């Protein structure tokens, strides 16, 4: 990776070197995705089957997997894979069960009761990337929180042919509606519905730039009302390392994200130029053994190493970048953590590779990318529900609060608001006379 001396850069240059991969901003993506969405709206299942043939070279007779197909796929999964899925599911369930909403019910003043309640989103669509890297783990990261939250309709979509382990994990997590369709067309189907695929209220799941763009477009379409979890696009990681960190560990962590796709991006921020050189050497060695070498090499062309003066500056660089994954490999990583403000998920210490969060530690790996960690959070149980407030006033409560409400309404020139209180207070006065 290119090695850059961060303190020597101007403010403008610093912003430039933190730019994401240019592949993410290809101008043609929006046009292509808009056309795909339009075709799905117009032609429904016919368009989905045509896109399966065009993009995945797969002839789909039925978009929905039958019970027989699900059972056959599950029987094909080896016992060691099933055991790994079971262990990951247990940890993910434990962490997300701990996030169960606790209702709020308080009396803000005498006779004024306010509540915060929570209800599950009824219909959710879960997008599972497939292709060259079928993300079995994403099934658990989406399906388990949806189940725990109590979402009634849980629909899963993934590019065909769907990996047997994806189907097994979905079944183990209580998903019965599995559809063979991926890409922007799958997002369009979830948003607008087709004869086969039901329309949902919210769409979850990471994907490539086409999926991310489709999620953005449908969430802004005034013809429907569908929400998305977050802007979750190509993978990225930033590693903060001091001169004591193991360069082999760092290189392995960088490559674990670079292998996702050519539009992935990995960054190293280190206090040591010697460390940056050692990591580059380790990258070159480890690349040769990777089956996805070509993909990782493409990602590395848009990746960089930065030399900073100290770990405080390293934290500032990381916060400016806002990484999806942040790995802190330093002698005292929790001291660095106190300065971190923007990251999707943080991994502390030499023996906490990003891979554990991707699969089985228990945290959720669906995270904001492209700097959105500065204003979006990692996926949690709360994302599968919506909260609403309740208020209830006694006559005495309104009497104690009404004057303040009427004064504020009058100063906002909203007389009807004032009258809604005044009429009630007048009735109260008359009732006691």
Contacts of 334 (CB under 8 A, 6+ apart): 348
Q: Helix or strand or coil: residue 304? A: strand
Residues 345, 367: contact at Cβ < 8 Å?
yes
- The position carrying tokens 């065909």 is 160
Task: Give the DSSP per-residue string, 156-177.
Answer: EEEPSSPPHHHHHHHHHTT--E
- The position carrying tokens 């993934």 is 158
> Token pair of 37, please?
């969405």
> Token pair of 314, please?
């390293």
Give dist(CA 142, CA 204) in Å, integer.
Answer: 7
Active site residues: 324-325
> Token pair of 44, please?
């429904």
Contacts of 172 (CB under 8 A, 6+ apart): 85, 86, 89
Tell me the sheet residues that pair with 241: 270, 329
Residues 91, 195: contact at Cβ < 8 Å?
no
Give dist(CA 309, CA 270) in Å, integer.
Answer: 8
Task: Give the DSSP per-residue string, 49-75.
Answer: HHHHHHHH----S-SBPPHHHHHHHHH
| Residue 272: exposure state from Cβ atoms within 10 A (0-12, 13-18, ≥19) | middle
Q: Helix or strand or coil: residue 246? A: coil
Residues 271, 310: contact at Cβ < 8 Å?
yes
């Amino acid at each position: 990776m290119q090695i850059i001396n961060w303190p020597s850069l101007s403010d403008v240059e610093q912003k430039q070197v933190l730019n994401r991969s240019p592949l993410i901003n290809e101008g043609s993506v929006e046009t292509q995705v808009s056309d795909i969405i339009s075709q799905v709206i117009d032609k429904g299942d016919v368009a989905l089957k045509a896109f399966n043939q065009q993009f995945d070279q797969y002839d789909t007779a039925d978009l929905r997997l039958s019970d027989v197909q699900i059972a056959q796929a599950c029987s094909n999964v080896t016992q060691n894979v099933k055991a790994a899925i079971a262990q990951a599911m247990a940890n993910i369930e434990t962490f997300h069960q701990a996030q169960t909403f606790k209702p709020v019910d308080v009396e803000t003043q005498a006779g004024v009761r306010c509540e915060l309640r929570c209800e599950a989103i009824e219909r959710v669509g879960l997008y599972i990337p497939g292709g060259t890297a079928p993300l079995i783990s994403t099934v658990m990261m989406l399906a388990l929180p949806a189940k725990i939250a109590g979402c009634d309709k849980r629909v899963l979509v993934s590019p065909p042919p769907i990996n047997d382990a994806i189907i097994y994990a979905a079944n183990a997590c209580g998903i019965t509606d599995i559809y063979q369709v991926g890409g922007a067309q799958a997002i369009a189907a979830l948003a607008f519905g087709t004869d086969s695929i039901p329309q949902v209220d919210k769409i979850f799941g990471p994907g490539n730039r086409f999926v991310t763009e489709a999620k953005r477009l449908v969430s802004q379409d005034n013809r429907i009302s569908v929400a998305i979890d977050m802007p979750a696009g190509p993978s990225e990681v930033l590693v903060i390392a001091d001169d004591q960190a193991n360069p082999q560990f760092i290189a392995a962590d960088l490559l674990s994200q670079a292998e996702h796709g050519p539009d992935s991006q990995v960054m190293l921020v280190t206090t040591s130029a010697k460390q940056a050189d050692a990591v580059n050497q380790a990258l070159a060695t480890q690349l040769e053994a990777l089956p996805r070498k070509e993909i990782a090499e493409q990602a590395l062309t848009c990746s960089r190493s930065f030399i900073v003066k100290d770990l405080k500056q390293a934290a500032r660089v990381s916060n400016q970048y806002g990484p999806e994954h942040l790995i802190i490999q330093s002698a005292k990583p929790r001291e660095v953590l106190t300065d971190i403000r923007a990251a999707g998920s943080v991994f502390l210490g030499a023996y906490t590779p990003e891979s554990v969060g991707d699969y089985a530690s228990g945290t959720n790996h669906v995270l904001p990318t492209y700097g959105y960690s500065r204003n979006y959070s990692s996926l949690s149980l709360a994302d599968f529900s919506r909260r609403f407030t309740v208020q209830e006033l006694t006559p005495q409560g309104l009497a104690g609060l009404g004057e303040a409400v009427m004064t504020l309404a009058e100063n906002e020139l909203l007389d009807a608001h004032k009258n809604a209180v005044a009429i009630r207070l007048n009735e109260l006065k008359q009732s006691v006379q």
